[in-house]
Structure 1
């Protein structure tokens, strides 16, 4: 058999089934384009140099494997339709004398053609729209983007690797289906009815547990730094749990409804429940993908909107005044002398510019980080923590801001009375559960009360 016959047959199969292959190619080109743009923003130096660009690239780096996962899932889902439509053609080739090795070569050429078109089209569209994505990122971060047009080599490499890997996996899956199928099964593959779906109770239960664990982590995690550490784990659990629930849990639910004779054997329920189990078996993966992507879009839109709406309030909370002057000293007497000097310099500048003080606040305080365990505060343990120990102790990390009673009364405009070794305590988040405070075992204080008023 001539070698050039295989590419001709492969191209003939694609051209004759263009109504099926065109949607597949458009989908694959869009997926490749999307992955390249995300990778481009992750590695682009111009984005990194923007104010806030490092944080954006860190978050995008977490999203790259998630996007890659969905690319593979969608390509597999689209390929299942192609194989179902092409089985009759392959069965006819087999009956006319072609062995399965010959059909495998046709499949190899078809996948190669689809790979070339998808990679070239997706990369071309991605490179064409990458600058627009960069400008949108600069607009979101209120920065100026570079006008230079750049093709990011790392993004091109990752995109080509993912595209080739996806089509290799699709080819192996298709060859496996052809290898195990009999010629008569291939010939009638498109007309063959589906086998009744089986209820996989263990996988459905695992999906419920994974999804419940993810939501538990989301509800119970309070500290912002700790939330960043468990965010990726929660996302993975939600994705896996959603797929198991849509694919296995939905079928298991339909089987459970079928066992309920009073519910199932009714005209309105009999057909709908029976057909629903077949539909969920066939379309569960695609519905789960749509659900997860839709949820991601809603989370992104709502989070961005909340950040935009609360931008001024957050800015005022963090920086309530236009100018801040800080003096770092290790001695209290030095801080008093330095504060007096700063006062004189500020007055001189204001007098020279014909300005007056407004919304002024000046005070001395002692700031340091420590680790909290119950009523014990340890500065020493914090200084010794490093590497993986820091990640394990992140939920115990606290920042202490200590002021004198006179300074507190000046700041809040209130009058308080404290005895010896007594303190007023204000928690930025939550409530302090103990009535004592022990710092490194050397300073013991009694918490007279917890107050709400502070800067």
Structure 2
């Protein structure tokens, strides 16, 4: 009998090839992407790249996510295949095959299927390994090289991982066969889904869960809170989506059924009846499509925005080739350090600036009345933050004069309550806003670390910075110096000086005797290399995660259409026999698919719209400071995804129509 199962295993794979094609494609892509991630993560060449720790950590995280997503996709595809083969397995049981024989047969099928697909996936991964590594180098803005990256340990690791995944499939398939008899197996595919229970309660819970998730996403104020709130909001939205689809589709179809003018039309009656017949399965499948589609949109929008925003971030954080920021030191010390280092390394200086500024956080704000944190006060998230500059430094940076005197100030503000105002009050001091400055004048002059922590920041220009500070001796105001210089040395030469520059400043810090005094430096070439490694790596991972999520989306849609096509085929044959012509069948099919097929897309766009505010705050921490660019990227990704989704709909609907009309 077991020899017979050997023959049946091979013949079944050939006979069910149309059902196995999407499964095979999913496994191929999952194995290929997993192999490429493993290969890049363990690639010894990564250790030679500037910013290697950053890129290795980023790839390591991506490797974990890709492996998990690949396992879920393979398990999901297998469950659809087994569901659609239940009748076949039931007939085998009726013909005399025992459960152990059926388990043996499916085991051998998976062994053959796994060897072919996993082997082919690794082969494709090896084939494209060099190109993918070169693509990563390109995204990281490094020298592109086609180098040998094959590693046997990566092949073994991928074989072990997918071996465990296929063992899980074998166990689940055996469990399915063991718990059902031949009659149950033969009827499993044809059996309708049971009507959901507690639909009103599910609808209420789903609405509450979705509402809380949306509320958290919209009301978050700062990036740090957004990071901690993000995963809670995601879980609530996923939970709410599944509940609303499970209950909402049922309610929606029942409403259509009660509408006599709509329901008692041949096309509508057939499509609505078919959907009601398997409403529970539709709910789970469509909710899964909605979640996967949202993942594609969020991942690709975020990754692309991070990559495109990298140049702006570099300019904001590193306005000069070499920079020094000092706390509790003299302005002249900063100037001497820059001159000394340029002289020691024989660097030709093309531009040099040494500026003084102060910064403080606002503990409370009532309109234009603001209270500064007191010295020693517990620091919490400030209402808004200020950087204060002397008007002489403002004139040096911009070449423009404000001619301030007394209590007059110039103000550049992102704080909505201060925009368009004529005066503001700091503690008990009221200042007249002589000019509201529209341009971010410190860009390319002074680094602004607040830009990545909050969207609510301000620059204040005062007539005399020292006189301004004397009024707030009991307040928590920090005085800082920044000096920067640009040089003629190439980026490669500057990069070689990065470690030496850090050591030079560390030596100076050890000589400082005043408590709380220190300086720290920035090297544009080194920071750019580190940022390019991070941003390029994140974009690289975003592309591949989007591919994985897109494969999952297409797979769910494809299997949904194919499985429902085979289920509906017999019903449409009966309808043809009672007089339904080909034109009416086509109209019925289109109506059936269109009724709910685009609901997941609508939900995906809705989820993205509500998540956009939170996402933009999180991306600020990573370096996406250009809000206009991010919005443009997000809308472009949505438009591309819409086109792809419509194409998938057209292709899968055609496959469905071919199946039911066979």
TM-score, structure 1 as length reference: 0.71
Residue 415 in structure 1 maps to residue 406 in structure 2: no
Equivalent residues in 2 for 1:44-443, closer than 5 Å: 44=43, 46-47=45-46, 50-51=49-50, 54-55=53-54, 58-64=57-63, 66-144=65-143, 147-151=147-151, 153=153, 157=157, 159-160=158-159, 162-187=161-186, 192-198=190-196, 201=199, 202-246=201-245, 248-258=246-256, 260-261=258-259, 265-267=263-265, 269-278=268-277, 281-303=280-302, 306=305, 313-320=312-319, 322-326=320-324, 328=326, 330-332=328-330, 335-336=331-332, 338=333, 341=336, 361-366=353-358, 373-374=363-364, 375=371, 377=373, 395=381, 401-404=387-390, 407=393, 413-418=401-406, 435-436=425-426
Q: Provide Cα deviations, 1:8-66, integer angstroms capped at 9, x if missing partner.
A: 44334323333333432232122222233344445545446545665555555555555
Q: Kindly tell me: are residues 234 and 245 of structure 1, through their superposed partners in 2, closer, same or farther at Cα, counting changes over 3 Å? A: same
Q: Secondary structure at the match of 1:98?
A: coil
Pairwise CA distance, 1:137: 1.6
Contact 2:39 2:149 in 1 (8 A): no
Pairwise CA distance, 1:250: 4.7
Contact 1:205 1:249 in 2 (8 A): no
Q: Kindly tell me: are residues 278 and 409 of structure 1, through their superposed partners in 2, closer, same or farther at Cα, counting changes over 3 Å? A: farther
Q: Kindly tell me: are residues 223 and 287 of structure 1, through their superposed partners in 2, closer, same or farther at Cα, counting changes over 3 Å? A: same
Pairwise CA distance, 1:414: 1.6
Pairwise CA distance, 1:97: 3.3
Pairwise CA distance, 1:139: 1.0
Q: Kindly tell me: are residues 397 and 168 of structure 1, through their superposed partners in 2, closer, same or farther at Cα, counting changes over 3 Å? A: farther
Q: Kindly tell me: are residues 376 and 245 of structure 1, through their superposed partners in 2, closer, same or farther at Cα, counting changes over 3 Å? A: same
Q: Provide Cα deviations, 1:378-405, integer angstroms capped at 9, x if missing partner.
A: 77578xx9xxxxxxx6x55987645456
Give, in whole Å, the separation in 1 of the partners of 2:108 and 2:5.
7
1:14 corresponding residue in structure 2? 13
Give, in whole Å, the separation in 1 of the partners of 2:60 and 2:233.
16
Pairwise CA distance, 1:96: 3.5
Q: Secondary structure at the match of 1:328?
A: strand
Contact 1:10 1:106 in 2 (8 A): yes
Give, in whole Å, the separation in 2 of the partners of 1:49 and 1:379.
46
Q: Secondary structure at the match of 1:414?
A: coil
Q: Once structures 1 and 2 are overlaid, which stretch shifts more, 299-308 or 107-116? A: 299-308
Q: Kindly tell me: are residues 106 and 344 of structure 1, through their superposed partners in 2, closer, same or farther at Cα, counting changes over 3 Å? A: closer
Pairwise CA distance, 1:234: 4.4
Pairwise CA distance, 1:90: 2.6
Contact 1:257 1:263 in 2 (8 A): no
Pairwise CA distance, 1:213: 4.0
Give, in whole Å, the separation in 2 of the partners of 1:409 and 1:187.
84
Contact 1:51 1:143 in 2 (8 A): no
Q: Provide Cα deviations, 1:131-157, integer angstroms capped at 9, x if missing partner.
A: 322221211121135624143847863
Structure 2, unmatched stretches of 5+, are 365-370, 443-662
Q: Provide Cα deviations, 1:107-152, integer angstroms capped at 9, x if missing partner.
A: 3333333333343333333343333222212111211356241438
TM-score, structure 2 as length reference: 0.52
Pairwise CA distance, 1:226: 4.3
Give, in whole Å, the separation in 2 of the partners of 1:62 and 1:238.
23
Give, in whole Å, the separation in 1 of the partners of 2:11 and 2:387.
76
Match of 1:448 among 405, 415, 431: 431
Give, in whole Å, the separation in 2 of the partners of 1:301 and 1:96.
51
Q: Provide Cα deviations, 1:160-212, integer angstroms capped at 9, x if missing partner.
A: 4553444344334333432343323334555x342354366345554444444
Contact 2:192 2:278 in 1 (8 A): no
Give, in whole Å, the separation in 1 of the partners of 2:301 and 2:107.
45
Give, in whole Å, the separation in 2 of the partners of 1:134 and 1:286.
36
Q: Once structures 1 and 2 are overlaid, which stretch shifts more, 270-279 or 23-32? A: 270-279
Give, in whole Å, the separation in 1 of the partners of 2:396 and 2:66.
54
Q: Provide Cα deviations, 1:410-433, integer angstroms capped at 9, x if missing partner.
A: 6563233456xx998766666689
Question: Which structure is higher in RCO with an 8 Å CA cutoff and minimum separation 6?
Answer: 2
Give, in whole Å, the separation in 2 of the partners of 1:197 and 1:173.
26
Q: Kindly tell me: are residues 214 and 61 of structure 1, through their superposed partners in 2, closer, same or farther at Cα, counting changes over 3 Å? A: farther
2:617 corresponding residue in structure 1? none
Q: Kindly tell me: are residues 310 and 429 of structure 1, through their superposed partners in 2, closer, same or farther at Cα, counting changes over 3 Å? A: farther
Give, in whole Å, the separation in 1 of the partners of 2:156 and 2:356.
54
Give, in whole Å, the separation in 2 of the partners of 1:151 and 1:131.
12
Kindly report the root-mean-square deviation, in angstroms, between the aligned alpha carbons of the 2 structures: 4.6
Q: Kindly tell me: are residues 66 and 345 of structure 1, through their superposed partners in 2, closer, same or farther at Cα, counting changes over 3 Å? A: closer
Contact 1:372 1:378 in 2 (8 A): no
Q: Secondary structure at the match of 2:176?
A: helix
Q: Which has the higher strand share?
A: 2
Give, in whole Å, the separation in 2 of the partners of 1:432 and 1:288.
44
Give, in whole Å, the separation in 1 of the partners of 2:72 and 2:284.
8
Contact 1:199 1:251 in 2 (8 A): no
Q: Secondary structure at the match of 1:326?
A: strand
Pairwise CA distance, 1:257: 1.7
Contact 1:51 1:141 in 2 (8 A): no
Pairwise CA distance, 1:314: 4.8
Q: Provide Cα deviations, 1:233-278, integer angstroms capped at 9, x if missing partner.
A: 54555555545544x1453343442574457644264433333344
